[in-house]
A and B are shown apart, each in its own frame.
Chain A
Amino acid sequence: GAVVSQHPSWVICKSGTSVKIECRSLDFQATTMFWYRQFPKQSLMLMATSNEGSKATYEQGVEKDKFLINHASLTLSTLTVTSAHPEDSSFYICSARVPPRTGSYEQYFGPGTRLTVT
């Protein structure tokens, strides 16, 4: 099956610094990737849709200047949390869309990245 990886799996950073999270589709090409955020004991919230070669589309309420998304290749999307603050601490999950022959699009999820900002 399709595999999506994320790196790092967890990261601790100091307030005010930036941190980059990578999302890779390992055995397929993904023109579209998605970034989600999951707070403790809560559900996943879609942050943005990342399209290869074009600007990301952000959901309402998500600061695009704070959460920079780059989808430079068909197998890699990155999320950079700029000037991180403790309230940015969360579990960030990416997914990649693969269009199978049947025409329905499934998303495959990465294992997530735990970000803690001190």
Chain B
Amino acid sequence: AQSVTQPDIHITVSEGASLELRCNYSYGATPYLFWYVQSPGQGLQLLLKYFSGDTLVQGIKGFEAEFKRSQSSFNLRKPSVHWSDAAEYFCAVGAGEYGNKLVFGAGTILRVKS
């Protein structure tokens, strides 16, 4: 069965510093991979997705993620964090047709200090 591991429950970075959120997945076939962000009172918002092709994926808000099959990883990165990036981030792997059945990681809470 598919699973997703986000090893870091909390991460604190300074505003302007770079960010990397880790995600490891387990899935037997070629995975559909997603990163979502959840802010209080807001629905999950899709940051980026990987289905196939270029393993470096660009998303919204300046985020990018790199799919590494050999490491079963899909880490999220941002070169310079803004205070508004403070939120909870979820990595997900999709199974089934077009990856619709999402399995989420436990989430990483990002705190940004000024």
Residues of A participating in the B interface, judged by any CB pair closer than 8 Å:
4, 32, 34, 42-46, 49, 93, 95, 97, 103-112
Contacts and interface: CB of A to CB of B under 8 A. Distances in A.
B90 A108 contact: no
B106 A42 contact: yes
B43 A4 contact: yes
A62 B6 CA distance: 25
Contacts of B104: 43-45
Given A109-B44, A112-B43, A104 B100 contact: no
Interface size class on chain B is: 20 to 34
A106 B105 contact: no
A112 B40 CA distance: 10
A105 B43 contact: no
Contacts of B31: none
B43 A46 contact: no
Describe A's contact surface by its main secondary structure.
strand
Which of B44, B51, B98 is packed against the most chain A CB atoms within 10 Å? B44
A28 B107 CA distance: 29
B106 A43 contact: yes
Contacts of A34: 100, 102
Nearest to B6: A43
A6 B20 CA distance: 32
Contacts of B97: 105
Contacts of B36: 109
B98 A104 contact: yes
Interface in B57-107: 90, 97-107
A93 B44 CA distance: 9
B46 interface: yes
Interface string B36-54: 1000011111100101000
A97 B97 CA distance: 12
Contact of A106 (B43, B49, B106, B107): B49
Contacts of A49: 100-101
Contacts of A108: 43, 46
Contact of A107 (B51, B100, B103): B100
A44 B105 CA distance: 8
Contacts of A46: 101-103
